[in-house]
Amino acid sequence: MRGPGWRRAALAVGAGALSSACGASTGLTPGASPPPPAASPPAAQPGQPRVLASGLAVPWAIPFLPGGAALVTERDTARLLRVTPQGQVAVAGTIPGVAPGGEGGLLGVAVPPSFRQDRLVYVYFSTAGDNRIARFRYAGGRIGPLHTLVTGIPHAAIHNGGRLAFGPDGMLYAGTGEHGESALLRTRPRWAARSCG
């Protein structure tokens, strides 16, 4: 959480950067035209889409591992799949405690920036009574024992949310749904952040 003086500090840093930039020599002769802007490199053209994997059962979230393989959650089977860049699909494991139903089941999955060091993977899923966030170690293409981090996230047949993402601050962010309570649609979205270091 930022302290009360963070705005003043940010303004001071910004003003210092601006004043140093304004005081720098531009290298232009008085009255001369500025040089034309540098040409932007041409944008890469998208390739032709192709099917990489098929026959998946309600794939829900797809983050990437170092090296290019993807982890894919299947909402209704509670399976976590590993899909290689060549399209090979392997089951990494089934997340215990998932109770699929309606729009609930195995939902979000996130790979932290520290994955190469700690091998941790985070999942968001529905149980019979709530939505939860848990993590496990992923090694040898398989999931390890589940460690629950957050319980009691409201659960319903619809709108369970479930997105997980790591922010630039290293915190894990979770998007939750309004779980069918229409009054919550008129409020601001709620986000939960947790340091997972």
Q: Would you say 78 and 60 are in contact if contact means Cβ atoms under 8 Å apart?
A: no
Give the H or E element holding residue 142: strand 142-143
**Which positions of the chain have pLDDT values less than 70?**
1-40, 178-197
User: pLDDT at position 35, please?
Assistant: 61
Q: Can you tell me the distance from the alpha carbon of 151 to that of 147, in angstroms, rounded to the nearest whole number?
A: 11
User: pLDDT at position 161, please?
Assistant: 87
Q: Can you tell me the distance from the alpha carbon of 172 to that of 124, in angstroms, rounded to the nearest whole number?
A: 11
Q: Can you tell me the distance from the alpha carbon of 197 to that of 178, in angstroms, rounded to the nearest whole number?
A: 28
Q: Would you say 138 and 117 are in contact if contact means Cβ atoms under 8 Å apart?
A: no
User: pLDDT at position 3, please?
Assistant: 46
User: pLDDT at position 91, please?
Assistant: 97
Percent of the chain residues topping a pLDDT of 90: 52
Residue range 160-188, pLDDT digits in tens: 889 999 999 999 999 887 666 666 555 55
pTM of the entire structure? Answer: 0.69
Q: Can you tell me the distance from the alpha carbon of 60 to that of 44, in angstroms, rounded to the nearest whole number?
A: 28
Q: Can you tell me the distance from the alpha carbon of 107 to that of 163, in angstroms, rounded to the nearest whole number?
A: 7
User: pLDDT at position 32, please?
Assistant: 56
Q: Can you tell me whether residue 51 is helix, strand or coil? A: coil
By CB atoms closer than 10 A (0-12, 13-18, 19+), residue 187 is: exposed
Q: Can you tell me whether residue 3 is helix, strand or coil? A: coil
Q: Can you tell me the distance from the alpha carbon of 2 to that of 169, in angstroms, rounded to the nearest whole number?
A: 12
User: pLDDT at position 34, please?
Assistant: 59
Structure tokens belonging to residue 30: 């008085």
Structure tokens belonging to residue 196: 């997972």
Q: Can you tell me the distance from the alpha carbon of 98 to that of 131, in angstroms, rounded to the nearest whole number?
A: 9
Q: Would you say 74 and 83 are in contact if contact means Cβ atoms under 8 Å apart?
A: no
User: pLDDT at position 43, please?
Assistant: 76
